[in-house]
Amino acid sequence: NAGVTQTPKFQVLKTGQSMTLQCAQDMNHEYMSWYRQDPGMGLRLIHYSVGAGITDQGEVPNGYNVSRSTTEDFPLRLLSAAPSQTSVYFCASSYDRGPLYEQYFGPGTRLTVT
């Protein structure tokens, strides 16, 4: 299994540009999520999905959109990039939502917005 994969690894955007961060998992996990990691802070939840066609907001959703058309894929869209969105983005998946089931993380996408 490849686990959780993310593309691209690095990206530089100009303010106002849009882009999509890709995330895919091959473990048939129903639950997927996006986090952002900023220096001196823990990971913060942006959006999550409990299954294909079902998404919801996390604690920092503004400026980001998601969709989940398949179990495998969970892309994150930045509609109009802002410098405050400079961060490292991690996608995660888990088999179930309970605390017994750990989350598996992708390698991350480092995004810089100038």
Summarize as ranges the residues that interact with another protein (CB under 8 A): 4, 6, 31, 33, 40-45, 48, 50, 56-59, 90, 92, 94, 97-108
- Cα→Cα distances 38→26, 43, 71, 89, Å: 27, 7, 28, 9
Min dist CB 47 to another protein, Å, is 10
> What secondary structure does DSSP assign to 87-107, as a single string?
EEEEEEEES-SSTTS--EE--
* Residue with Cβ nearer another protein (30 or 77): 30
* Residue with Cβ nearer another protein (14 or 40): 40
* Residue with Cβ nearer another protein (16 or 56): 56
- Cα→Cα distances 11→26, 101, 108, 111, Å: 24, 31, 11, 5
Min dist CB 106 to another protein, Å, is 5
Min dist CB 83 to another protein, Å, is 21
Place of tokens 């990691």: 37
